[in-house]
Amino acid sequence: MSIGMLGKKIGMTQIFDDKGSAIPVTIIEVGPCTITSINNNNQNIQIGYQDINPQKLKKPNIGHFNKIKVPCFKYLKEYKVNSLINVKIGKILTVEQFKTGNIINISGISIGKGFSGYQKRHHFSRGPMSHGSKNHRQPGSIGAGTTPGRVFPGKKMAGRMGGKQITIKNLQIIDINSKNNIMVIKGAIPGKNGNIIYIYKK
């Protein structure tokens, strides 16, 4: 059964293989998650992650959790599964759903950089820094004058950088610690430490 889970980014480090090569890895805490809803028509399941005080939720959400007799969760996410066999409301999903060597996709909110300029946001080259040049970090021409008389949408200019939903595909699981719900992933994933991430098992 292909299924997804929620987790939290802990941080990055490096490990060494048998040949002594350093491998950059990301450590994430995965689950435990609880199945809170099942949609038989679309073969979707909803899972909850991270317990929360019911006083911080709205009444419809509290009623949903009370009806299915599960704790209240802060985060809810729907995933499409291949099969609904052995899937029931209240079932707890742990990191044991994955195995070392599995390939997964991870989504998260990238680190926000604020309002950034051309060089930082789009890797533009700077102008000459000497001989009286006054064009050091200016954008240069952004289009023709009378025709078309406007700037086309999508023009690479200064603006908000980061803070977007990013998906990194084909990440390999290096190690799994079932006791502490820890997973070690080869490479980097979006977001800063402590961010919520969405894991998709391929």
Q: Can you give the residue ranges of every domain in the chain?
A: 4-112+165-201, 113-161
Put residue 181 in one of left, alpha, beta given phi > 0 → left and psi -120 to 50 → alpha.
Answer: left
pTM here is 0.81
CATH assignment of 4-112+165-201, among 2.60.260.20, 2.40.30.10, 3.40.50.1860, 3.40.50.300: 2.40.30.10
CA dist 69 → 46, 47, 54, 88, 89 (Å): 15, 14, 13, 13, 9
Q: What pLDDT is attached to residue 153? A: 92
Rg (CA), the chain: 23
Closest to 195 in 3D by CA, of 173, 153, 172, 164:
164
Q: What pLDDT is attached to residue 2? A: 59
Q: What pLDDT is attached to residue 113? A: 94
One digit per residue, the tens of pLDDT, for the chain of length 202 reads 456 889 999 999 999 988 999 999 999 999 899 988 888 888 888 899 998 888 888 888 888 888 888 888 999 988 888 877 778 888 888 888 889 989 999 999 999 999 999 999 999 999 899 989 888 988 888 888 898 899 999 999 999 999 999 999 999 999 999 899 999 999 999 999 999 999 988 7
Q: What pLDDT is attached to residue 135? A: 87
3-state secondary structure 139-182: CCCCCCCCCCCCCCCCCCCCEEECCCEEEEEEEEEEEEECCCCE
Q: What pLDDT is attached to residue 1? A: 45
